[in-house]
Amino acid sequence: MRSKELFSDYLRVQKRYSPRTLKIYLESIDELFVYLAPSCEEQLESLMTPANIRSFVAHLLNRGLLPVTVNLKLSAISSFSNFLVKKELLESNPVKKIQRPKTDKKLPGFYTISAMENYFNQELPSKENSINGQEEINVQDQLKRFLKLRDRVVVELLYSTGIRRAELVSLKIHEWDRSRGVIRVTGKGNKVREVPVPNLLAVHLEEYKLLLNEYFSQNTTRHLFLTDSGQPMYLSFVNKIVGRELKGVEGFSGKKSPHMLRHSLATHLLNNGADLNSIKEVLGHSSLAATQIYTHNSFEQLKKVFLTAHPRAKKGG
């Protein structure tokens, strides 16, 4: 259908949605169309009424889809409807008249500061020490050390800057500015932001970059992070690194993921006095509402301050 093709171009070119988001939106629209008019696509716009959308929602819920998944599909359909209204192919957005399924608010999990310290207190293999007790480190051992350093830097960068894994894999060497102590990150919608890099991470990044140029001198793409074979790193590879690095470290008994490291940084910054606007800029959120979800994690900190400062609490009242 022509309108869907135009919408796809709009999302990709003007909205600059990622391929993954684009796929989710278009699949949701296709699913609606198959449900409403499996054999007469030319009439689809006329079938996009509140009653039909409501029926589609009931169909999805009866299939056992979670409310959060249904709401994601509704968001895609709503965006498409707004596009059709602008193109004068639809009078109004039917999704606005739909009561969305209620979802349980899922609060972001995070690692404790002590767990992160347990990880960072682990020593990296030094340049001088051999791995197998040999006097001289052979080439294979040197490569192992380099890959271990890479994995450590990946985890350290994800936690210390809060960048997304997609932002990490797209980083180029020149986007690490040692003189200013920042990395230039391209986030959602191709929005560019600069994120400060703590001193210790900066030292590790410099060492890693030097070894990267030594081991993968033919890095034509100039990506900052590569796989073991020298190809640009991909999303699932980052997941594997994080899972492998945190495995067995005290304090990491649950889920081990790049996004949990991002959640952890946001929570720790908030608990240590950073304001929401600053955290919003670091994380690259488009609105403050996305950042406010982290305020729940600082409740324990608030409780401690309250019990310490309250006059009745001091007296045991």
CATH number of the domain encompassing residue 76: 1.10.150.130
- Please give the Cα distance from 299 to 294 (Å, whole number): 10
Q: Is residue 163 part of a domain?
A: yes
Q: Is residue 227 part of a domain?
A: yes
- 92 vs 188, residue with greater confidence: 92
Q: Could you read off the pLDDT of 263-298 as tens digits, one per residue? A: 999 888 888 888 888 888 888 888 777 777 776 655
Kindly give, in sequence order, each residue whose CB lies less than 8 Å from that of residue 255, ignoring residues fewer than 6 positions away: 109
Q: Which of 134-138, 209-213, 253-257, 310-314 has the highest mean pLDDT?
A: 209-213
Look up the pTM and report it.
Answer: 0.66
Q: Are residues 74 and 121 in the same domain?
A: no
Q: Could you read off the pLDDT of 170-217 as tens digits, one per residue? A: 999 999 999 999 999 998 878 899 999 999 999 999 999 999 999 999
- 130 vs 6, residue with greater confidence: 6
Check pLDDT > 70 for residue 299: no
Average pLDDT over residues 92-116: 85
Q: Are residues 8 and 74 in the same domain?
A: yes
Q: Is residue 111 part of a domain?
A: no
Catalytic residues: 164, 188, 259, 262, 285, 294
pLDDT at 135: 46
Structure tokens at 66: 């979670």
Q: Are residues 23 and 62 in the same domain?
A: yes
Q: 75 falls in which pLDDT band (50, 70, 90)?
A: very high
The 3-state secondary structure of the chain, one letter per residue = CHHHHHHHHHHHHHCCCCHHHHHHHHHHHHHHHHHHCCCCHHHHHHHCCHHHHHHHHHHHHHCCCCHHHHHHHHHHHHHHHHHHHHCCCCCCCHHHHCCCCCCCCCCCCCCCHHHHHHHHCCCCCCCCCCCCCCCCCCHHHHHHHHHHHHHHHHHHHHHHHCCCHHHHHCCEHHHEECCCCEEEEECHHHCEEEEECCHHHHHHHHHHHHHHHHHCCCCCCCECCECCCCCECCHHHHHHHHHHHHCCCCCCCCCCCHHHHHHHHHHHHHHCCCCHHHHHHHHCCCCHHHHHHHHHHHHHHHHHHHHHHCHHHHCCC
Q: Is residue 38 part of a domain?
A: yes
Check pLDDT > 60 for residue 41: no
- Cα atoms found within 13 Å of the Cα of residue 236, Cβ hemisphere only: 0
Q: Range of 12's domain? A: 2-97
Check pLDDT > 70 for residue 47: yes
Sheet holding 192-196, edge to edge: 176-177, 182-186, 192-196
Average pLDDT over residues 60-78: 92
Residue type, 48: M
Average pLDDT over residues 160-172: 95
pLDDT at 227: 95
Q: Is residue 311 part of a domain?
A: no
- Please give the Cα distance from 147 to 128 (Å, whole number): 16
Residue type, 108: P
- What percent of the chain has a predicted confidence (pLDDT) above 70? 84
pLDDT at 16: 81
Domain count, the chain: 2
